[in-house]
Structure 1
């Protein structure tokens, strides 16, 4: 009889990198649980940091950790759930840095690995925050945190009831809303990403919802030269986010 998969939870972090980044960022950790005998490599460093912070440490059989989380690498942290922010806080972050706001919106993505990968890319590409829906979207679980390689500790995340209303709010704040769509006539590399931008990435199967699509100022596509007609959502999102990085760096070089 196969062992049932552990339940996805928002109050657990599993894996060495996510736990390490949570410790570095100062996130509230209630306790650490390590597998018996797991004292090698980065776990030793993690345990040292935990002791310095006075975090309780429990050592249990690896099979017990297997029941709590997938791919835990011998360590689990019991944490406070991610502290979601308001959209206004994301915009304030951009203002405080003197930068045009750059916000990533995820519509209908439920695969935790895709969500985590997009959070990781958003953090690396300089996004000021990410918006996810309470419905038609996934929560920030241990699998999302692990796939993000710890980026959930650094990129502000807003979880909203209505993405269409949020898009309206961002438009009022001066952002241009750009959506990714397979059938859009304009390729992404011809779109101006340099100003205040809200970028929407939809799910692989359905893309951006029709109502949200109507509220986009621009729709862009990623040209495909093979038999497959679309890219993985996290790969597509990465291409679009780093096109913005490229344009900003090219503009900075031109001004020098």
Structure 2
């Protein structure tokens, strides 16, 4: 496989929460296609009186409003029926962290990052290669207040992700490097964290809004840019080679 094709496939691969959402949406549509089709017919019927009265630009606006209402209603029913709000919020959290890391890279606060690095036992949301070291960042979205139980669970999840990251680093002969687990919290729950974050079970938990500032304050010198380029190249090759979304080959 050429490098161009490999990078294209990596860009197309969806994150774990988005794959879960897509799978659940497909199942929801297949199971409830008849009620959804009937609802679409009702929405179409509701536009008939408007079509007879309104013309031109306003008619297009009215049809667009009905279409948006239909899509929003089906989306809301899907989230309530399947309980997929957790996967959706997880995807939002990962997207926000990815945006912060992209800006941090432009400012040279980090050398690079690999998103959605997966093995069979699970995934690492973001493996960040920075001048100060390597961080396995686990993104969380909490709409409710943070409790000790929630923080303990997030810390345990981040430790598991860091262990996966270190297994990957050892498998590509980078034993000298070790990923530090970090939790980045987005949503209303981040208000309960102090500006400098807090440490739970040896894991640093940060507010999403403070991640970029925290990265900019890390001391440099642990990883050079040349070394970071080598690490990123090996990680991308690993990600292209190990794809849990593909079925195993038959013997």
TM-score using structure 1 length: 0.29
In proportion to residue count, which structure has more helix? Answer: 2
* Larger Rg, first or second structure (1 or 2): 2
